[in-house]
Amino acid sequence: MSASRPIGIFDSGVGGLTVVKRIEELLPHEEIIYFGDTARVPYGTKSKETVTRFSVENVEFLMGFNVKMIIVACNTASSLSLEFLKRCFKVPLIGVIEPGAKGAVDSTRNNRIGVIGTRATISSGAYEKAIKKLNSNISLYSQTCPLFVPLVEEGWLDEDVTGDVARVYLAPLKKRQIDTLILGCTHYPLLSYAIRKVMGKSMLFIDSAKEVAKEAKGILAACGLLNGTRQRRNTKFFVSDEPDSFVSMGKRFLKRRITAKKMG
C-alpha cells in the first residue's frame, strides 16, 4: 500500500469536520477524502441495521478513492457498525469510541465521567464497555442529547435556544459531580461554547476528534504509511445532498473557503 494514498473520513453530516480539523493539524501532509451523508442525517435516531447499511455504503464510496485508512467520524456508526465494517473491508478502520474513552480515563481526577451522545450511541453501551475495560473503578453517567445534531446542522451554534437546550440536557450530569465530559458525537464540539457555559470552566472536555487523530497517526506510522512529502495536501469534500449548507458550516468552522461535490 502506498503512503501517498489518501485518508478517508465519513460522518452523517458536518460533525466529522471536527475530525478533519484535527487530522489536518496533526498530519498536514496527508490528503483527505471526506464524505458527509447529509441526505440521511441524523444517524442517532435510526436502527443498527440501517446505520450499518449506510456505513457500508459510505465505506464503499471512499474505497473508490483508493484510501489507505478510513476513519468512522460518527459515534453512532462507530458504536453500531465498526466491528462489522472491519470484517468486511481490509483497509484499516478507526472509530471514535475507544480513543475518546481512553482520553477520558487518562484525564479524570475523581473517576466520575459523563458522556453525552445520540440515543443510538448511548443505548449501545459502547462507551461504558470501553471505559470499564480500561478502568473498572470509574463511574460513568450518560445523557442523550438528540436535538444537538439538528442544531449543529442548522448552524445554530451559540443562539439562545441552543443554550436553553443545553441547560436542560446537561442538568442531570451537573448533579453527578463529574469532572470529565466526553463529547460523544463529533457534532458536539461545535457546540462547545454552549456546553462549557453550562458545565463550567473547571470541567475537562474530551473531544474524540483529537484522540482519534492521535490514533490515526500512530497506526499509519506503525504501518509505514505516513506520507513523507513536505507539501501540504488537499482535503476534498463530498456530500449526499445539497452542499450549500455544508459548505457554509465548513467555512465557518474550518475558517477557510471550501467546496463540496454532491455524490452522484
| Residues forming the active site | 74, 185
Residues of the chain with pLDDT below 50 are: none
Output the pLDDT for position 120. Answer: 95
Domain locations in the chain as residue ranges: 7-95+210-262, 97-208
The DSSP symbol for 263 reads P
pLDDT at 63: 98
User: CA 2, CA 165: separation in Å to the nearest integer?
Assistant: 46
Structure confidence by residue, pLDDT tens digits, 246-262: 999 999 999 999 999 99
Q: Which amino acid makes up residue 100?
A: G
Mean pLDDT taken over the chain = 95
Neighbouring-strand partners of residue 113 = 140, 180
Picking from 96, 106, 50, the residue whose alpha carbon sits closest to that of residue 70 is 96
CATH architecture for the domain at 7-95+210-262: 3-Layer(aba) Sandwich (3.40)
| Same fold? 7-95+210-262, 97-208 | yes
For residue 205, what is the enclosing H or E element? strand 204-207
Instruction: Let me know if domain 97-208 sits in CATH 3.30.360.10.
Output: no
Over the range 223-260, which residues count as b (16 or more CB within 10 Å of their CB) and which as e?
Answer: eebbbeeeeebebbbbbbbebebbbebbeebbeeebeb
